[in-house]
Structure 1
Amino acid sequence: MIDETDRNILIALADDARLSLKELSQRVNLSAPSVSERLKRLEERGVIRAFTLDVDPSALGYTLQAIVRIRPLPGQLHIVQNLLDQVAELVECDKVTGDDCFIARLYIRSMEHLDRILDRIAEKAETNTAIVKAQPVRRRLPPLA
């Protein structure tokens, strides 16, 4: 578990992972060495896995986003998983229970672009695709209680 200070550190970093140690220490009312030690412990415990970059896909020409449910055909699970791993436009993929085995998020430039990607796995899996209209809840931290 984490204490209130660790919680405040995580909240501040979730808002801006580029905060300097000085700025972060001011936000949580600790000295820079104390914050540095807490960060080190949070990383060692696996609470903090990475400091990431948030890029706007539309600025790179990816104007559409799709969620694709993927159901491999019998005996094709590992082949499909390997195929998915090779799709650069696929930015997230969860292996799930239920009728589908995978739920993937893709950034695409056009519907034709989506078709070309899905054609790569069409012989190995069934797909069901939804185009994302908006993302009312962006990726966020789980409750830190």
Structure 2
Amino acid sequence: MRLDDLDERIVRALAEDARRSYADIGAEVGLSAPAVKRRVDRLRDSGAITGFTVQVDPAALGWSTEAFVEIYCRGRTSPEDIHDALVRFPEVASASTVTGEADAVVQVFASDVRHFERVLEKIAGESFVERTKSVLVLSPLLRRYSAGSPT
């Protein structure tokens, strides 16, 4: 499903604050609250909106160390195999296959450097992992969690 301009504006408003009322969103995009609700219901039914969630600062949960880990795989490792291994680690916030030398890049949150080191050792110990390369995040400079096309 391709989103039209109104749908994109509604999705962007929900991405900024999913607790906003349909009336508030409607006032912003020029629709009534019932019209916004119908569009949101249609977007959910079509799968364009997959759910509503809360964003939590990992540091508030005690996860103050962030790192990115490049994974280099042995032979022909499928994305599904990488996913199935990494999904077991609660410290893994995201994982993506990538172009370039590495096969995947993984974002990891841990309580401290020692915790990160233990997680890294477990990831490196997966049967398909040939080697890893990691970097610790010093200061996040920009994070965007909104949806829709860049304006």
- TM-score normalised to structure 1 length: 0.85
Q: Is 1:17 aligned to residue 18 of structure 2?
A: yes
For the 8 Å contact 1:22–1:32, the answer to whether it is kept is: yes
Output the CA distance in 1 between the equivalents of 2:105 and 2:14: 28
Q: Comparing 71-80 with 114-123, which one deviates more in the overlay?
A: 71-80
For the 8 Å contact 2:9–2:148, the answer to whether it is kept is: no
Q: Which runs of 5+ in 1 are unaligned?
A: none
In structure 2, the residue corresponding to 1:107 is in which secondary structure? strand
- Write the deviation string for residues 6-50 of structure 1: whole angstroms up to 9, x where unpaired: 222122112111112222222222111111111122223332222
In structure 2, the residue corresponding to 1:55 is in which secondary structure? coil
Structure 1 runs, 4 residues or longer, greater than 6 Å off: none
- AA paired with 1:47? A
For the 8 Å contact 1:7–1:144, the answer to whether it is kept is: no
Q: Is 1:66 aligned to residue 67 of structure 2?
A: yes
In structure 1, the residue corresponding to 2:93 is in which secondary structure? strand
- AA paired with 1:128? K
- TM-score normalised to structure 2 length: 0.82
For the 8 Å contact 1:80–1:121, the answer to whether it is kept is: no
How far is 1:66 from its partner? Answer: 0.5
Q: Which runs of 5+ in 2 are unaligned?
A: none
Q: Comparing 53-62 with 65-74, which one deviates more in the overlay?
A: 65-74
Cross-structure match for 1:129: 134
For the 8 Å contact 2:97–2:103, the answer to whether it is kept is: yes
For the 8 Å contact 2:6–2:29, the answer to whether it is kept is: yes
For the 8 Å contact 2:96–2:105, the answer to whether it is kept is: yes
